[in-house]
């Protein structure tokens, strides 16, 4: 199977924009390759903490009942999550190793990555058969942790740094059904090395194989400013790559995508795309060249 030529990014981005315009800017699933691209397929049910995040989510107009987020955006995320859930726990789960581990990233800051991570987690949490663990891996910015008001609490970096802590020690129950959370933890200058450690590898192995009904979403830093996300991309089964429509230069997108292992199932999420409908929306399609 052709795993995709990452030199063909401008053509692929153009296809995404053209297809999204034709669909009115909606997050329509489209496989960009002929044949099926390998895309693959968790959690700890008792956390030591409980946090209330629902009010903050409503205040921030996220994808929960009671917010003012439009029905169109809710439907967009339903379209975005469908192939991801299928690859993680559905009919395609045998085709992708660690498909229940999903990394959300972008090329540069400011493309809506964290917003997309949280809303994607909230949308998947509405599934009948799955639960979601959202992990903030951006220790420097702590976007997810700040948005949800849990920055400053023990999190991923603390678990990786100390052999006395487990993920269960820092896992947080939330007041959103089926959603659990792990914050970024304290700032650590050696985070790249910690993510590349055997401890991180063992942690990922356990949650991928032991909890196959749980989908784990890692909110990683943008790819270009830091090496951390490239390490994370090698640990997961699926990558959601957020691109801000009309802003991100194709050269940066191409440079960032080249850092993702070719065997990874990489989907492009075109964010803030208006298309012909004149409304903001999302478009999702798989990255790769035509066979």
What is the pLDDT of the chain when averaged over all its residues?
79
Q: For residue 96, how many other CB atoms are within 10 A of its CB?
A: 24
Q: Alpha-carbon distance 144 to 104, whole Å?
A: 12
pLDDT at position 48 is: 56
Closest Cα partner for 271 from 115, 142, 148, 145? 115
Closest Cα partner for 70 from 281, 286, 243? 281
CATH of domain 37-261: 3.40.50.300
Chain centroid to Cα 246, Å, comes to: 21
pLDDT at position 278 is: 35
Distances (CA, A) of 268 to 100, 125, 153, 283: 18, 21, 32, 8
pLDDT at position 217 is: 97
DSSP lists the bridge partners of residue 271 as: 244
Q: Alpha-carbon distance 184 to 143, whole Å?
A: 9
Give residues with Cβ within 8 angstroms of 138, minimum separation 6: 114, 144, 184, 219, 220, 221
Digit-coded pLDDT (tens) for 158-198: 999 998 998 889 999 999 999 999 999 998 888 889 999 99
Chain centroid to Cα 256, Å, comes to: 16
Q: Alpha-carbon distance 93 to 85, whole Å?
A: 9
pLDDT at position 70 is: 78
pLDDT at position 272 is: 64
pLDDT at position 271 is: 80
Distances (CA, A) of 199 to 157, 162, 174: 11, 10, 26
pLDDT at position 248 is: 87
Contact 140, 187 (CB under 8 A): yes
Q: Alpha-carbon distance 275 to 141, whole Å?
A: 31
Digit-coded pLDDT (tens) for 122-153: 999 999 888 999 999 999 899 999 999 999 89
pLDDT at position 8 is: 43
Cβ burial of 46 (10 Å; 0-12, 13-18, 19+) is exposed
What stretches in the chain show pLDDT beneath 50? Answer: 1-44, 274-280, 289-291
Tell me the CB-side half-sphere exposure of residue 252, using CA atoms within 13 A. Answer: 17
pLDDT at position 39 is: 23
Strand order of the β-sheet with 281-286 is 29-30, 281-286, 265-273, 238-244, 101-106, 214-219, 131-136, 179-182, 172-174, 49-51
Q: Alpha-carbon distance 9 to 15, whole Å?
A: 10
Distances (CA, A) of 124 to 80, 218, 247, 276: 10, 14, 28, 28
Give residues with Cβ within 8 angstroms of 256, minimum separation 6: 105, 106, 107, 108, 222, 223, 224, 241
């Amino acid at each position: 199977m052709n795993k995709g030529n990452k030199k063909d990014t401008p053509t692929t981005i153009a296809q995404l924009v053209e297809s999204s315009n034709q669909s009115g800017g909606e997050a329509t699933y489209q496989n960009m390759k002929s044949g099926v691209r390998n895309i693959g397929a968790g959690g700890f049910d008792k956390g030591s903490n409980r946090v209330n995040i629902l009010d903050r989510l409503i205040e921030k107009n996220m994808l929960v009942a009671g917010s003012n987020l439009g029905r169109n955006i809710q439907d967009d995320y339903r379209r975005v999550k469908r192939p991801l859930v299928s690859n993680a726990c559905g009919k395609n789960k045998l085709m992708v190793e660690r498909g229940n581990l999903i990394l959300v990233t972008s090329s540069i800051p400011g493309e809506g990555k964290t917003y997309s991570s949280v809303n994607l987690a909230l949308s998947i949490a509405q599934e009948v058969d799955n639960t979601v663990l959202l992990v903030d891996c951006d220790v420097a910015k702590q976007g997810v942790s700040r948005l949800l008001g849990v920055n400053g609490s023990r999190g991923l970096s603390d678990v990786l740094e100390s052999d006395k802590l487990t993920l269960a020690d820092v896992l947080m129950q939330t007041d959103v059904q089926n959603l659990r959370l792990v914050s970024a933890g304290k700032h650590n200058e050696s985070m790249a090395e910690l993510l590349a450690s055997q401890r991180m590898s063992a942690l990922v192995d356990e949650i991928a194989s032991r909890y196959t009904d749980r989908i784990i979403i890692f909110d990683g830093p943008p790819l270009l400013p830091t090496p951390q996300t490239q390490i994370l991309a090698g640990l997961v089964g699926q990558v959601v790559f957020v691109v801000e429509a009309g802003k991100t230069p194709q050269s940066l997108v191409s440079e960032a995508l080249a850092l993702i292992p070719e065997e990874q199932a990489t989907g492009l999420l075109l964010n803030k795309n208006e298309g012909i409908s004149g409304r903001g929306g999302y478009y999702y399609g798989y990255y790769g060249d035509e066979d």
